[in-house]
Amino acid sequence: MKRLVVVSNRVADLTKTSQSGGLAVGLADSLKIRGGLWMGWDGRRLNSDEPPEPVVKTTGEITQATLPLTEDDYAEYYLGFSNSVLWPLFHYRLDLVEYRGTFMEGYRRVNAKFADALLPLLRPDDIIWVHDYHLIPLAAELRQRGCSQRMGFFLHIPFPPPEILTAVPRHRRLIEDLLQFDLIGLQTNTDLANLHRYIEEYLKEQVDKDGTVHHGQRKVFIDSFPIGIDVDAFAEMAEEPNDAVQIETMRRAILGRKQIIGVDRLDYTKGLPDRLKAFSRLLELYPEMRKSVTLMQIATPTREEVEAYTEIRSELEALSGQINGRFADFNWTPVHYIHGAVPREALAALFRASQVGFVTPLRDGMNLVAKEYVAAQDPNDPGVLVLSKFAGAAEDLHEALIVNPYDVDDMAKSLCRALTMPLEERKERQNALMKRIRQHDAQSWADSFIEALENCPSIAA
Ligand code: ADQ
């Protein structure tokens, strides 16, 4: 069995997979079984320009190699090209792209650094799995240094239509670099169609029916691998009594109130302002709902140094203040807004205690919160998932109430339908959704990607 080498911007703590998302959960077992190396940035920012020495630490079968970035790397590669160019652009938000020439240089420089640091740690028959938009040029950098190992790439975020992608300066080089991988994995069929179209229309190369691209002398295989969660682990967590959540749930039950829950990183792609507006519209359109429902929105701050992120924070705080100012009375606060992270155990219990999971990204690669909400439900009295049609998860989770996250009235009406849905219909939808999230869980995601990577024709062949 070949050793698995994983490279991503940050390295997850594999001793705490219960605290982590789909990536760490999916990879932990594969790394343990095959033995593995995981490399990424250690989160430090140094002033020096000296080539960074990776810190290598082995625990059991798994070795972690982490390296620091310089302040310039952080500004140009991380905040710059990755999060002010690729992130907004790949989420179809051309209006939020902030491009500077130095960003591209920094992006390439850090990918070259990663390649230099990884090279001495590689063995000839390793298989290498690279994650996400920060590291698109990594295979090209490694190939330039003589690596012929099999390399796969998985994009966690959407792949945009070519009309949007071509707004990135030097987009052709970016995609040609991407095609230095042997296997490219995307979340959904929509992403797949977008990449196929770019290859056919802009590179004038053919994509075979089975997803193979003949790029020069090389064969590159492209497919979708929808990521999932560890369903049983999350469901078990949700069943565990969580004191703080239980007390609050009992209090609501006595008052006959229902709860709608939203949980997200505080990101402009998650559709948070319109989500709050939809809740406000619900209270306007259906006055009988007043005092009988609350919206709990938990939002964890991220990337606060990027300007677009500070704006979303102020906008949300203002909106929740306005809704509460307009509708609250002395014993009912309609919006409960929590700015911060919540432990996963509490999150699972909160999902179970909420009658509606409200997940309305404007665009999302997959969205694991939608799947976590489903996994957490009580099968005898399940809640209802209201899900944006622009989340990757909507391609599969048909039994959710699918909404347009730009249409506040549509969302308000779906909220009302979810809150009043009869038990039988809720159970039927929940059953079907559970089957779907089990079919594409974290482990099957990792296994199917690794199997496809192992089956790629090797470069030497
Ligand atoms: P994210 O954009 O981070 O991931 P998502 O898939 O929803 O989005 O995963 C977020 C994870 O963080 C979930 O496990 C969630 O429970 C947790 N989380 C979010 N807010 C939290 C909070 N306030 N407190 C505690 N935990 C919180 C990217 C892509 C997604 C893709 C994933 C995986 O943007 O589209 O689904 O990678 O590929």
Tokens of 272: 């948070």
> Is there a domain that residue 356 lies in?
yes
pLDDT for the residue 31: 85
pLDDT for the residue 17: 56
Distance CA 289, CA 292 (A): 5
- Three-state DSSP at 300 gives strand
> Is there a domain that residue 459 lies in?
no
Q: How far does residue 187's CA lie from ligand 1's centre (Å)?
A: 14
Shared domain check, 258 and 114: no
Shared domain check, 90 and 23: yes
- Three-state DSSP at 128 gives strand
Shared domain check, 92 and 123: yes
- The DSSP-derived string for 49-89 is -SPPPPEEEEETTEEEEEEEEEHHHIIIIIIIIIIIIIHHH
Tokens of 357: 């999971």
Shared domain check, 122 and 72: yes
Distance CA 111, CA 82 (A): 11
Residue partners of 144: CB distance under 8 A and separation at least 6: 115
pLDDT for the residue 262: 98
Other Cβ atoms less than 10 A from the Cβ of 228: the count is 26
Reply yes or no on whether 215 is catalytic.
no
Q: How far does residue 385's CA lie from ligand 1's centre (Å)?
A: 16
Shared domain check, 210 and 68: yes
Shared domain check, 447 and 430: no
> Is there a domain that residue 320 lies in?
yes
Per-residue pLDDT of the chain (461 residues; tens, 9 = 90+): 899 999 999 988 776 655 556 577 778 878 888 889 999 999 999 887 776 788 999 988 899 999 999 999 999 999 999 999 999 999 999 999 999 999 999 999 999 999 999 999 999 999 999 999 999 999 999 999 999 999 999 999 999 999 999 999 999 999 999 999 999 999 999 999 999 999 999 999 999 999 999 988 889 999 999 999 999 999 999 998 878 788 788 778 778 899 999 999 999 999 999 999 999 999 999 999 999 999 999 999 888 888 888 889 899 999 999 999 999 999 899 999 999 888 899 999 999 999 999 999 999 999 999 999 999 999 999 999 999 999 999 999 999 999 999 999 999 999 999 999 999 999 999 999 999 999 999 999 999 999 999 998 765 44
The CA dihedral of 103, 105, 106, 111, to the nearest 10 degrees, is 130
pLDDT for the residue 223: 97
364 lines ligand 1 (CB under 6 A): yes
Q: How far does residue 450's CA lie from ligand 1's centre (Å)?
A: 22
Shared domain check, 374 and 242: yes
What is the pTM (predicted TM-score) of this model? 0.96
Q: Calculate the alpha carbon distances from 232 to 124, 228, 426 in Å.
A: 37, 12, 20
Identify residue 35 by its one-letter amino acid code. Answer: G
Residue span of the structural domain in which 211 resides: 4-228+442-454
Domain count along the chain: 2
Q: Which residue has 């001495």 as its token pair?
A: 120
> Is there a domain that residue 431 lies in?
yes
Cα-atom radius of gyration of the chain, to the nearest Å? 23
Sign of the CA dihedral running 295, 392, 348, 42 = negative
The CA dihedral of 314, 315, 316, 320, to the nearest 10 degrees, is 100
Reply yes or no on whether 156 is catalytic.
yes
> Is there a domain that residue 163 lies in?
yes
- Three-state DSSP at 2 gives coil
Angle between helical axes of 231-239 and 344-352 (0-180°, round to 10) = 80
> Is there a domain that residue 460 lies in?
no
Distance CA 77, CA 351 (A): 36
298 lines ligand 1 (CB under 6 A): yes
Q: Calculate the alpha carbon distances from 445 to 110, 136, 338, 393, 450 in Å.
A: 28, 20, 32, 14, 9
pLDDT for the residue 16: 67
Shared domain check, 165 and 114: yes
pLDDT for the residue 233: 92
CATH number of the domain within which 329 lies = 3.40.50.2000
pLDDT for the residue 460: 46
- Of 19, 266, 352, 368, the one to substitute when testing ligand 1's pocket (max ligand atoms within 8 A of C-beta) is 368
Shared domain check, 237 and 164: no
pLDDT for the residue 252: 82
pLDDT for the residue 34: 84
Distance CA 199, CA 209 (A): 14
Shared domain check, 263 and 129: no
Shared domain check, 217 and 266: no
Shared domain check, 400 and 267: yes
pLDDT for the residue 21: 60
> Is there a domain that residue 53 lies in?
yes
- Of 265, 275, 300, the one to substitute when testing ligand 1's pocket (max ligand atoms within 8 A of C-beta) is 265
> Is there a domain that residue 461 lies in?
no
pLDDT for the residue 316: 94
